[in-house]
Amino acid sequence: MAAINWQDFSLPIRLSLQVALLSSIVVLIIGVAAAWWMAKRSFKGKTALETLFMLPLVLPPTVVGFLLLVLLGRRSWIGEWIEWLFHAPIVFSWWAAVIAAIVVSFPLVYQTMKVGFASVDRNLEDAGRSMGASEWAVFRYITLPLAFRSLTTAYILGFARGLGEFGATLMIAGNIPGRTQTIPTAIYVAVDSGNASMAWAWTIAIVVISFALLFISRSRSL
């Protein structure tokens, strides 16, 4: 086996952790807000909207990546506006990897928080309202603390899903070493080029990180 270049080894890990950290924070905020909003409302088309929320969970990641590429590419008005605003296209940048991670991890975060909010005793929330608390106060001081375990699990699942994202990331962010190359795409290239040493090193790294995240998640649920 060839010797491992530790500098080349560390770059995809650093970028993957950076992408997973940022995307998990953003998707947690969006997922919590969406789950709370949907839990409080009943309207025509709610089932269709929830189905749309969960769609990235069942679609092939390459399909998600292709749709994002069309939506955010330089030929779309959104892509043109982003390029005008930041003087650079968003596709094939590490920000594109963050967006891909947010989209594919959203269903996990949303579903986890939906179950968490459903488990909160409604009598406690009604008691808070009867004492004059606003909906925001009820959410902040009653609902969210009681669903904190689900909140923690949702964040860890979002982080882990973003860390392991491959197909959508490859489609919209590419595989540029030092810029957009994450651990999954680096493993793919290493295997394709016959560099088993690097492939094993990155595989062990992501397995260890993922195991630690799932172990923490399981420990919090007990």
Predicted pLDDT of residue 159:
93
Question: Is pLDDT of 211 > 80?
Answer: yes
Predicted pLDDT of residue 114:
92
CB-based burial, 20-55: b 16+ in 10 Å, e otherwise: bebbbebbbeebbebbbebeeeeeeeeeeebeebee
**Structural domains for the chain:** 6-221 (1.10.3720.10)
Kindly give, in sequence order, each residue whose CB lies less than 8 Å from that of residue 177, ignoring residues fewer than 6 positions away. 8, 11, 186
Q: What is the mean pLDDT of residues 214-218?
A: 78
Predicted pLDDT of residue 2:
55
Predicted pLDDT of residue 53:
92
Question: Is pLDDT of 3 > 80?
Answer: no
Question: Is pLDDT of 217 > 80?
Answer: no
Question: Is pLDDT of 171 > 80?
Answer: yes
Total residues found in the chain within this entry = 222
**Identity of the residue numbered 193:** S
Spatial separation of the C-alpha atoms in residues 66 and 173, rounded to whole Å: 11
Predicted pLDDT of residue 222:
58
pLDDT tens-digit profile of 65-105?
A: 999 999 998 888 888 898 888 888 888 988 999 999 999 99
Question: Is pLDDT of 218 > 90?
Answer: no
pLDDT tens-digit profile of 95-145?
A: 999 999 999 999 999 999 999 998 888 888 888 888 888 888 888 888 888
C-alpha distances in Å from residue 83, one per residue of 22, 74, 77: 21, 8, 10
Predicted pLDDT of residue 206:
92
Predicted pLDDT of residue 104:
95
- The model's pTM: 0.89
Predicted pLDDT of residue 89:
86
